[in-house]
Amino acid sequence: MKTAGIGFAPVRRRRYRALLVLAIGLAGAPAWAVEASVYLLTPTVTQGDREIDSHSGVSSSGPAVARESDSTLALGMGLTEHWFSELGLRYARVGAAGTSWDVLEWENVLALAEPGGWPIDVGVALEAEVPHQSAQGVSVRAGPLLQKDFYNIEVNCNVLFGHYLRTGEFTATQIEYQAQIKIRYRQPLEFGLQAFGNFASPTRAWAGYAEQLHRVGPAIMGRFLLPQERSISYNAAYLVGTTAHSPDRTLRVQVEYEF
């Protein structure tokens, strides 16, 4: 027994040193903003529809990320049969810092065909974010939005490519994804599974798994019809992080008033 104890001690010391090096590396590396209020984009546009969009989220801390909460209030409209545009303001709180204006957002969705016109509904998202702190740099994102119906099941998969302009901290192109499987149960209640992630790190477009951001969890959503062709839609999810650069838990809620 004494010989075994002597033999295993160097192994334990090597493990502790490796964990210490990993912790120091994670603490010193810059990280993407978590955006607790992240939500799914869809390739559907209705001309003339106006909406007030509110989406909020709270995320706990993780091994390499701080606790964060943020909220966005936006106004959007279907400008044509194929073009939806939305402008919003996002407020955020990270760690122990106070809540402050974070980003001015401009979101655009282009539907390439009428729903059901192609085997898969296809759209394109074009987004720009102007931060309150100019040193962070303007960010732009674009990518395809895909949606397919299977009987009473709706599947969405989006891939967005983003980049920060005029900043030295975040030099890599972002490769993000949004995914959802939704079961149309009975309005105003539907449920499913959502996932959001980013394969990049601030310096690499495709980082190691531990440096990526991945969140997945159950979601509920639905729509309440109101008089005069108005409605209120809701969408909420509880997401669990799977990597060191993901928050352990995220609660996100989105409410839209369409008129």
Q: Which pLDDT does position 88 carry in this prediction?
A: 97
- C-alpha distance across the termini of the chain, in Å: 76
Q: What is the mean pLDDT of residues 7-22?
A: 40
Residue 11 half-sphere exposure toward CB, CA atoms < 13 A: 5
DSSP E strand boundaries for the chain:
50-59, 68-78, 83-94, 100-111, 121-131, 138-150, 153-165, 174-186, 189-198, 213-226, 230-241, 249-258
User: Angle CA(143)–CA(144)–CA(149) in degrees, nearest 5?
Assistant: 155
Q: Which pLDDT does position 31 carry in this prediction?
A: 53
pLDDT tens-digit readout, 94-117: 776 777 888 999 999 999 999 899
Answer with the residue of higher pLDDT: 3 or 158. Answer: 158
Question: Cis omega before residue 188 (within 30°)?
Answer: yes
Which of 174, 185, 171, 177 has its CA nearest to residue 220? 185
Average pLDDT, the chain: 86
pLDDT confidence bin for 32, thresholds 50/70/90: low
How far is it, in rounded angstroms, from Cα 22 to Cα 30? 14
**How many CB atoms are located within 10 Å of the residue 226 CB?**
12
The DSSP secondary-structure symbol of 235 reads E
pLDDT at 190 over 50: yes
Determine which of 85-99, 196-210, 216-230 has the lowest per-residue pLDDT on average: 85-99
pLDDT at 202 over 60: yes
- The model's pTM is 0.84
pLDDT at 72 over 70: yes
Tokens at residue 227, please? 């008089």
Q: What is the mean pLDDT of residues 188-209?
A: 92
pLDDT tens-digit readout, 117-136: 999 999 999 999 998 876 67
- Helix or strand or coil: residue 82? coil
Where do we find the tokens 């309440």?
224
Q: Which pLDDT does position 123 carry in this prediction?
A: 98
How far is it, in rounded angstroms, from Cα 240 to Cα 217? 6
Q: What is the mean pLDDT of residues 7-33?
A: 43
What are the structural domains of the chain? Answer: 31-258 (2.40.160.40)
